[in-house]
């Protein structure tokens, strides 16, 4: 099977991107798929959430060429997470410098696709990108590098505008830059089904994006506690509703890939 590349994006902060990236990667690995999570956010939270150290793996991925010795160098930064089938290329604040390099050298929109091509065989099932809450050269190139894009969005407020902006970017990349990927879905997060505002936000999303809106991830203390304990939701509380909700997302991704 060809490696599937999935980007988790939303320019809004704190909407559950990292939680979704880590949970999806962990869930796919538990299903026996080989998964490489790549942290394209300078905050480096994928590493800390998994109990590893932030480091400049993403910086080298984004700035080095594809000669054999450069690829070998980048691959040194692919870490075992201590979980079967689950690998991490961590990021840290140097990723910000990589963004400047990409933009100043006017690297093509295909730059990240080419950079990850060194990983996309050898039985690797999935590459998952966690991205930063901003727009810039990295986000656009990460989307272009992906087969599928997932947009987590919080139902704590009406969020159609930011999702619309991002989905416009996807359309632009498809039409103007020959991007071959597609939107996997909009993932409502922090959902509280007893609150009127949340129901309204959900309704708003459904009106805007129809069946692209995936089953929601509810707000849950267990999910908020995971990063502090360096655990995935499947390790912290495998029988919880949150684990089941992320498991459903994993099954959906497997179905579509
Ligand atoms: N469904 C949820 N219920 C409760 N807490 C959650 C949920 N999803 C994520 N969190 C917590 O909310 C905080 C923000 O989530 P997360 O880091 O995944 O968002 P993000 O979009 O990656 O943020 P940033 O834009 O800063 O990268 C984290 O502390 C996380 O543990
Ligand atoms: Mg994040």
Mean pLDDT by groups of 10 residues along the chain of 257 residues: 95 97 98 98 98 98 94 97 98 96 92 94 92 93 98 94 95 97 98 96 96 98 98 98 98 96
| 139 alpha carbon – ligand 2 mean position (Å) | 13
Nearest CA to ligand 1 atom 31: 224
Q: Is the pTM of this model over 0.95?
A: yes
Please write the tens of the pLDDT for every residue from 119-147: 987 799 999 999 999 988 999 999 999 99
Ligand nearest to the CA of 134: 1
Q: Which residues line ligand 1 (CB under 6 A)?
A: 13-19, 41, 43, 45, 133, 189-190, 217, 219-220, 223-224, 226-227
Q: Given the structure tokens 């989905």, which residue do they identify?
A: 167
pLDDT score recorded for residue 191: 98
pLDDT score recorded for residue 122: 76
Number of domains in the chain: 1
pLDDT score recorded for residue 1: 78
CB-based contact 173:109 (threshold 8 Å): yes
| 22 alpha carbon – ligand 2 mean position (Å) | 10
pLDDT score recorded for residue 136: 84
- DSSP H or E segment with residue 127: strand 126-130
- DSSP H or E segment with residue 17: helix 17-30
Cα separations (Å) of 57 from 5, 31, 43, 139, 190? 18, 26, 13, 17, 30
Nearest CA to ligand 1 atom 14: 14
| Cα–Cα dist 122/103, whole Å | 31
Nearest CA to ligand 1 atom 15: 16
Q: What residues have a C-beta under 5 A from ligand 2, the ion?
A: 17-18
| 158 alpha carbon – ligand 2 mean position (Å) | 20
- The number of the ligand 1 atom at minimal distance from the alpha carbon of 226 is 31
Best residue among 7, 10, 12, 18 to mutate for probing ligand 1, ranked by most atoms within 8 Å of CB: 18
pLDDT score recorded for residue 135: 86
CATH number assigned to the domain comprising residue 242: 3.40.50.300
Q: Which domain holds residue 114?
A: 4-256
57 exposure class (CB count in 10 Å sphere: 0-12, 13-18, 19+): buried
In the beta sheet, which residues pair with residue 149?
7, 183
Best residue among 19, 26, 151, 248 to mutate for probing ligand 1, ranked by most atoms within 8 Å of CB: 19
Cα separations (Å) of 236 from 106, 195, 224? 43, 27, 11
| Cα–Cα dist 161/164, whole Å | 5
- The number of the ligand 1 atom at minimal distance from the alpha carbon of 13 is 25
pLDDT score recorded for residue 121: 75
Ligand nearest to the CA of 22: 1
């Amino acid at each position: 099977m060809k490696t599937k590349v999935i980007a988790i994006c939303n320019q809004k902060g704190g909407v559950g991107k990292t939680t979704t990236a880590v949970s999806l990667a962990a869930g796919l690995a538990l299903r026996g798929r080989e998964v490489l999570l790549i942290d394209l956010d300078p905050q480096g939270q994928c590493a800390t959430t998994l109990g590893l150290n932030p480091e400049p793996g993403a910086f080298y991925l984004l700035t080095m060429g594809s000669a054999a010795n450069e690829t070998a160098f980048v691959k040194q930064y692919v870490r075992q997470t201590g979980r079967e089938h689950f690998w991490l290329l961590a990021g840290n604040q140097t990723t910000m410098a990589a963004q400047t390099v990409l933009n100043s050298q006017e690297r093509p929109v295909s730059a990240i696709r080419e950079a990850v091509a060194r990983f996309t065989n050898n039985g690797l099932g999935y590459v998952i990108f966690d991205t930063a809450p901003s727009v810039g050269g990295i986000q656009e190139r990460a989307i272009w590098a992906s087969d599928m894009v997932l947009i987590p969005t919080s139902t704590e407020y009406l969020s159609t505008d930011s999702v619309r902006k991002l989905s416009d970017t996807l359309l632009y990349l498809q039409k103007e830059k020959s991007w071959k990927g597609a939107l996997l879905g909009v993932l409502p997060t922090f959902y509280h089904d007893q609150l009127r505002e949340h129901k309204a936000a959900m309704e708003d999303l459904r009106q805007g994006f129809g069946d692209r809106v995936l089953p929601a991830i509810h707000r849950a203390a267990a999910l908020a506690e995971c990063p502090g304990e360096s655990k995935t939701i499947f390790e912290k509380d495998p029988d919880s509703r949150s684990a089941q909700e992320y498991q459903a997302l994993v099954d959906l991704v497997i179905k579509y890939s």
